[in-house]
Each structure stands twice: as C-alpha cells, then as structure tokens.
Structure 1
Amino acid sequence: MLVTHTDCRIISPEGIMTRERLERDVTIFSRMLALRGIPEEGRVILKAANSYYFVVCLFSLCNIAVSVTVVDEQTVLDEIAQIYDEAGACCILTDCDPGLSDASVILIQDLIQEEAVHPHWVGEPEIHGIDFNKWCERSDALILYSSGTTGKPKGIVKAGSAFMDNIRHSIHAMNYLPSDHMLPVVPFSHFYGISLIFSWWLTSCSLIICNPKNLWSVIASITKDRATVVDANPSAFYTLLRMLNRKPEQLEMVKESPVRMWCVGGSPLTQDLEEKFNNIFGQPLLNGYGLSELGNVTLGTLECPQGCGKPLPGVDLKILDAAGEQQADGIVGEVWIRSAGCMEGYLNRPDLTQSVLQDGWFKTGDLGYLDDEMLYVIGRSGKTVNRMGYMVSPVYIEDRIGSLGYRSCVITLEDEAKGTLLVAFIESEFSQALSVLRKEMNRVLPSYMFPDLLLPLAHFPLNRNGKVDRLEMEHIALEKAASRKV
C-alpha cells in the first residue's frame, strides 16, 4: 500500500506542512532511525504530545515496518519501565527523556536537529512516498496501552491489516471529504487519536493540530483554521460549552464557523450534554462507540445521528443479560461484539484474552441496548451493589439523573446499616440547583436508589484519558462521608 495523495496539509503550531514536506520528513526520519540500528523485527515505544512531529515519528516507524507501541505522554516512570520490559522494546522514541537508565532512548528533538543538517552529510533523500505495506503485514503492527484506570495497564496487540481496514470502513461511514479540515481534540497516543490521524491521511484532507488541554486554543483553531470536523470527548464538550457561554462573541464566531460535523467519543454521551449542545448550535453531537481492542464499532453520522450509530461492516452486536440470554430491542444488557477489527490479544496475557473473548465475541463490560439496529451505550456495567436488600446499578442512577439534564458521577461506599452508601456528585457551579434536582429525582428513581449524599462540584476531576477520574471521586466521597459522621 504505497500512499500517494495529491492534496493534504497539516496546520500546526510548527507551521503549515504540505504532503510533500511530510513525506520528505518521514523519509529522513526513517533513514535516521534505521541508522540507529532499529531492526525491522523490532518494537519501538512512541511517547509524545500532540504535534506535527508525533505524526512524522508515527509514520516513520510504520514506514520502516517496526511494531509501534504507543503510550500516553503522561505515563509515569514505573509504568514506562514496566511497558519497556513487557513489550521487549528496543528503544523509546520520545519528546521528553523518561530517565530510564536501562532503556535506549531517542529524543525527537535530536532527530529534528539532525534533520536540519541532513542534506550536508548524506545528501537530499529520494522521496518514494510513505509505504505502509510491510507494516500492515505485521500481526503486532500496533500495541496500545490502556490508561490503567481499571487496573494494571494492558498492552492491546493489533494486526496492521485489521487496523487499516477498520479505518477505511470508518472513513466511508463518516463520509470524510478531501476538502475537510479535521480537528482532533484528543490525545494522538490513544486509539481515538491514532484512528483520526490515519483517517486524515487516507482521506487526503487537512489536519489541524492543537493542544487538547488548552481549549481556548481549540476555539481559536475552529474559527481561524476553518475546521469542518471536530472530534472530542464529552468532558471537553462540557467545558467548551461553559467557556463559550461566558464569551458570547466567541460563541457566535464558533456558531458561524464551517464545522459540518461535531463528533464525540471516548466515553458515553449523556442526554443533558446532547440536548444542551443541540439547543446552542442547532447541530447534533455525532456519537461513536469503539474500543482499543476492537477499533471503531458503530459511528453516528449526519444521515443517521441516533444513539451511537449503526455497526460498521464486519461488526456484529448482541445484548446479553446476566444469565447470558439475548435481550430484545430496547432492553438494557451487556454489549458483546464480534468484529473483524478485533485485537490479536493482550500482550503476554493469554488468560486475560480468554476472559474477554468467547467464540469470537468480545465481552465489553459496557451496558447498552439496541433499537432498530442502532446501538445506545449508557456506561460501564461495573458491579451492582446490594442496598437495603435491592441490587442497584450506579450506572443506571447516573443515566436517570442525566435524563433530568444533570451530569453526575455516583460512587458507592460500604455502609453497615444500608449495605451500601450512595454518593452522587453533580457537576454544577450552583449548589442551589441541588434543591431542584432532589425534587425531580423523586420522579425517576425509587427510594432505595436515592443517593445518601448529593454533592455539587464545579468541575469533575479528569484522568489522562479525559474521562472522569472515578478514583479521585472515590477519595472525595470518603472524605465527605467521614465528615458527615463526625
């Protein structure tokens, strides 16, 4: 698969880079990496922030057909050491030296400096385009590490051909156009970000690179760089709406921008965010569902924006109850998926692989339901808890509160009297809103599901994935519960 496009640009803080400039940089970086002795059968860890040179490094590693292990830029030292050893990596390619004495480290800045003098010591390279053919033949072409929010980080091994086929199906479903300006407000080191990088390249459109942590710069990019497709997680959209509501002039500029698709993924889209966004912009948030283990599964589109959309080609869905019985349309259960884009397995963890894969079906651990072939996902199934003799699902409570227009996070704590204490955090800057919510909750929740504590938080803490940091919320809940007993 020799990729030769005619029109594709990267708009970034480093400048506007053409396809020809990218291909030249990838050719030079590929040669410099090969000269450093990286073997074709090797495995390289890529750890860097969103930037033009992240794309150069990613494509260079693919171009020399090594196995690419991508980790989040905020991964701590102990985790990096563990991943380096577990993956059997030959080096770490990074924009910040992790300080591992036993690891071979290549700094991206060193390659950039060497590139500046490259023609003087080796001559101008002959550009042949970027060739992903050999990389796609690898069964371990891409290894993605989970954030570790649900336990020990896991290496998810992806075959190159399955990964690329999933990207092609996604491009066709979303109807990306060569005239699009794609703006990913997500980390490039996660599947969501990597999938958008390859979607941009295969579509041959323009890619806008910004700092996803600086949402004011994102707003500027939407208007200044004429974004047409914006992707972000729900937390980013919540924050963007709050920021824009305080700046009417910027809000009007964004509303008048050429964005034709606002896309959301990474965690469940709540009803209140969906409604707030639609009321302000008059456009839907196109929700998608996917996992690093499976790739993109369903995608909401302009033609079919309901729920998380319909399954991509090669994807089958079923909803099962706790007894393993298939559920009818509209009935909530656990989502199981069979996909051509499924992972090869968890790195060095055959036991864990077998625990989630049964006869080709992947057990997602997410709750959802089907309706007219559309998938609706409401959140992680987690564990139901016993409360006053009833089995209670925190996810269900969050979903019911969401139907009232409030974003919530329900934490469960052990309690001698009730079995379980329910602490519901509401994202709101106004504590007086809780008195209204308490009355409304009586309409949607039975008494045994009513939270013991209803607490306002101006902003939910986020983990490095941009999702709600439930561990931090649990610590806060423990403190609040302890002070209540004093």
Structure 2
Amino acid sequence: MNFASLPDHRAESDPDGPAVSDGRQSLTNAQLLTRVRAAARHLQDLGIGPADVVALKLRNRVEFVVLLFAAWRLGTTVTPVNPSLTDGEVARQLQDSGARLLVVEKSTTAAGVATLAVDALYAEGAEADPAPQPDSSSLALLIYTSGTTGMPKGVMLGHSNIESMAGTGCRGLELGPADRCLLILPLFHVNAIVVSVLMPLLAGGSVAITDRFDPKTFFDLVEQERPTYFSAVPTIYSMLAALPADVLPDTSSLRYGCCGAAPASAELLARFESRYGFPLIEGYGLSEGTCFSTVNPVAGPRRAGSVGIAVPGQDIRIVDERGTELAPGMDGEVVVRGPNVMRGYLGRPEETAKTIVDGWLHTGDIGHLDADGYLFLAGRSKDMIIRGGENIYPKEIEDVLVTDPSVLDAAVIGVPDDKWGEVVVAYVQPRPGATVDPAALEALTARHLSGYKRPTSFIVVDALPKNAVGKIDKPSLRAARTAVPLGS
C-alpha cells in the first residue's frame, strides 16, 4: 500500500471509523481524506508539486499528519523540523534540503523560503481533487539526524523504504484494525512517524496524538484514550517507573509499550512491567534504517538485555573492522541489510559510501548475536572507552548502576587520562526524593565489574542532559567533564 493512497483506501472501506485525533479535534477516515484533499489543493495553489520539498516545523498535532499525506498525494517530499531549533539551525536545514515551503505554527518569515501558518491551511472546499501520485521510487521523507557527532545530515527515505518498514513492522508488532496508538514522541522523529502514525493507520487502526509527554498526566491520557500501545524511549519509562507508589492507573487497554532509540536496562524493563502490568517490547534501529531492524517477539520469548531478533525482510550481521562476519557471542559492529535501508545522505556521497557498503548499513553500534539470533548491544562505537588498551562499553556499566534503588538513570563516558589514555566517569541522576551515595555505587560496581571497567568518579546531577529525541546527550557531558566529582 502506497501511503499517497492510504487516506482514500481508509475512507472507502470505513468512512466513519476513527483515524486521528489530538485533543483539539478528532477525524474519521472520511474527514481525514477531506482534509488531506484540501491541504493538497492548498499546496498546489502555492506552487508545490512533484519532487519539491515541504518543511513542517510543527508541534504534535493533527495537521502534521494531514500535511504528510497531502504532500505525498502530490509526489512531494516532507522534511520535519524540530520546533526547538534555533533560527540558524532551521535555516541550515531548509537550505540543505532545498525546501520550497515551511509550514509553521504562527506567521513568520524564513530567508529564501515561503512560509505558511498552519491555521491558515485549507480545511475544505477542494473543488478539483489532486489525484494521488503513488510512486514507490519517489522520495518520501528527509529526516535530519540529531547532529550529536557533527552537522545534521539529511537521511533520504523513499516511499519503498517506508512501505517496507511499515508493512513488516505491522507484522512484527502484530498490529490490526483494533489497535490504537497513543503518540507521545515528537513528530519530527522517524519513530513517531512510522511506529505511531503510519503503522497503526496501515493496519486499519487509529492514532491519538499528544502535544508533549508529561509523566504527571500520561496515565490520565491512557485512561481517557484507551490506546492498545505506545512507543517511547527509556528515559520516559524511567520517569513513569519513578512515579509515586500511590499512582495506580488503569492500564487494561494496553497490550504493550514499545521501547527504542536507546538501550534500556533489563532491570528497568522488569520493574516497569511488574508495576504496571503490561510488557515493554524493546527494539532497535536507526533513522538510516527507516526506524527499526530488530524487535523482541510480542507473543514469543523476550530475552532480558536483548533488543530482539531481525524484523522480517531484514538481515543482521556482526562484523569486525575488516567487515568479516563474526560468530555468535562475539562483539563487533552491527550491520543491517534490507529494503528499509536509506537511499543515502542528501548531497553527501562520500559519507553515504562509508555508511552503506555492499548494501549493508554500518550502524556504528557494537553488539553480538546469540545462537538464536537475538541481538545484544554493548554501545556505540564512538562511545567506546579505551583504557590502557582495554575496550570498555558504557552500557554494561550503566546497566549495573541503575540497579541501585537510588538511581533513576546513568550515563558513562570516557575522559582523557595521562596514564591510561582514558578513564571511566559515571554521571547519575537520583530518583525523585532519593539521595545517591557514591560510596554505595563504588561498592556496587566493585561487586559486578572488573577493576578496569569501574568508574573513577561518580558525578551526581539533578538531570542528565537529553537531546530532542530523549537520548542522553553524551557530547555535552564530555564537554562538562571538568565538573567536580562527588565521590571516587
């Protein structure tokens, strides 16, 4: 199913069925199609057509979804823009993507690019409907990476990429017409677009959009919207697991929560499921792979510490520095192959060639496969710490630290050292109302880790820095490595 035609298909098969809502408005399938047609006409009136790029700098709202389908109806590419970016950062993305139109919350100007205030978007009255332009070879999305390792790059995802990912993702997560997703991640991220919008709509289900995540009101929304699943990052699950004990929500509608974007500790997954009564299905993937490449089985065995098995239609290998495939149990770089793999980075053929080699996407992540094909991650290759010639993967240490009842979250980095080259430093965030004892953490790591892996310092912070997607921002921690430790 090409997504340019999906609104038409849903309106024809179930016109009065629920499609998408955001707390301000709720659209049936027929109403969604009407809005998509009107928005497509508006884009056409502004001179937008096939192969053009439209940028959406919007918060989570129904209009984002409407514009997504309207653009695809015209054969137009969408590049989502993080609303929290500075004007300079927005300008760089607009220039790099070649966007011809920027849709924003309120009227504004952007150098060299026409703008459209979203509330002015046509909502009805399209006299001549622009017919869908289904073309699997055309570009659907330009997703810009977070830029934590350099300037953001435009990940080119074609319609064939998102069609494959959504189709196999629906099978992997066992989605059907009865499913309803509560969307809480920001829509400028591919996970939110694919897992929380495209997949449930493709499966015949519906989407309830939240403006932003708030742990204090999250379960109120669950009780109100009655979703069957949602997708979030480990930080969100940590915050929910840390809610006061008297928070006892009705979670009976939820089949599971999806967990991705960063590895979660087995302790967090078990603690969360025990408290709230529904499982967390952990998966793994990159924007360059259109979202996720592995997932733990919904109905089958989920292995503690694993991010699951390969999604149908994708292949996973572990390779060494020379690209040689490694045996089960051996750590190396995770590489991925399948129709989900991006076309490349926009305007960056050299970086594309380094990242996609003989059809395999080199992720930069380190891990191993067990004998049954379950993937276990050790960390990012760029996060790897080398102390006296020994390779240390921060996730192993972070997983130990979060078992302490006072620790909500942890981040481990390497800092330069004259003797060892690098030494291990741990940043820890306390649970609400708790006090972290660095001496207790030192004893904990001494029980579970070899001497060379143990942190030399434990730095307690009120909150660990996060990037826009909710991942811990380790580059900013490295920049702050001169902070005074609270124990050693």
TM-score, with normalisation over the residues of structure 1? 0.89
Among 278, 287, 308, the alignment partner of 2:273 is 278
- Counterpart secondary structure, 1:31: helix
Among 474, 481, 486, the alignment partner of 1:470 is 474
Corresponding letter in the other structure for 1:425: Y
After superposition, the Cα gap between the structure-2 partners of 1:437 and 1:132, relative to the gap in structure 1 and judged at 3 Å, is farther
Checking the alignment, whether the CA contact within 8 Å between 2:295 and 2:310 is kept in structure 1 is yes
Checking the alignment, whether the CA contact within 8 Å between 2:40 and 2:73 is kept in structure 1 is yes
Corresponding letter in the other structure for 1:297: S
Could you tell me how far apart the structure 1 residues matched to 2:400 and 2:353 are?
34
Are 1:297 and 2:298 an aligned pair? Answer: no
After superposition, the Cα gap between the structure-2 partners of 1:91 and 1:281, relative to the gap in structure 1 and judged at 3 Å, is same
Instruction: Specify the alignment match of 2:427 in structure 1.
Output: 425
Deviations 1:76-131, CA, capped at 9 Å, x for gaps? 221221222222221212224564232211121221xx54xx54xxxx64779x83
Among 44, 58, 64, the alignment partner of 1:34 is 44
Deviations 1:26-49, CA, capped at 9 Å, x for gaps? 111111110111132312112211
- Counterpart secondary structure, 2:285: strand
* Identity between Structure 1 and Structure 2 (%): 26
Among 259, 264, 269, the alignment partner of 1:269 is 264
Could you tell me how far apart the structure 2 residues matched to 1:97 and 1:351 are?
38
Shift of 1:360: 0.9
Deviations 1:128-147, CA, capped at 9 Å, x for gaps? 9x83613x330x22111111
Question: How many equivalent residue pairs?
Answer: 468
Corresponding letter in the other structure for 2:40: S
Shift of 1:389: 5.2
Could you tell me how far apart the structure 2 residues matched to 1:403 and 1:362 are?
33
Instruction: Specify the alignment match of 2:398 in structure 1.
Output: 398
After superposition, the Cα gap between the structure-2 partners of 1:456 and 1:381, relative to the gap in structure 1 and judged at 3 Å, is same
Any unmatched runs of 5+ in structure 2? Answer: none
After superposition, the Cα gap between the structure-2 partners of 1:457 and 1:279, relative to the gap in structure 1 and judged at 3 Å, is farther
Among 109, 114, 120, the alignment partner of 1:104 is 114
Instruction: Specify the alignment match of 1:133 in structure 2.
Output: 134
Instruction: Specify the alignment match of 2:158 in structure 1.
Output: 159
TM-score, with normalisation over the residues of structure 2? 0.89
Could you tell me how far apart the structure 2 residues matched to 1:127 and 1:39 are?
14
Shift of 1:149: 1.6
- Counterpart secondary structure, 1:216: coil
- 1 or 2, which has the higher helix percentage? 1
- Counterpart secondary structure, 1:61: helix
Instruction: Specify the alignment match of 1:95 in structure 2.
Output: 105
Q: Which 10-residue stretch deviates more, 339-348 or 323-332?
A: 323-332
Superposition pairs of residues 329-408 of structure 1, within 5 angstroms: 329-371=328-370, 372-382=372-382, 384-388=384-388, 390-402=390-402, 407-408=409-410
Checking the alignment, whether the CA contact within 8 Å between 2:366 and 2:381 is kept in structure 1 is yes
- Counterpart secondary structure, 2:146: coil
Instruction: Specify the alignment match of 2:447 in structure 1.
Output: 443
After superposition, the Cα gap between the structure-2 partners of 1:399 and 1:215, relative to the gap in structure 1 and judged at 3 Å, is closer
Could you tell me how far apart the structure 1 residues matched to 2:346 and 2:111 are?
24
- Counterpart secondary structure, 1:258: coil
| RMSD of aligned alpha carbons | 2.4
Among 16, 19, 23, the alignment partner of 1:13 is 23
Instruction: Specify the alignment match of 1:411 in structure 2.
Output: 413
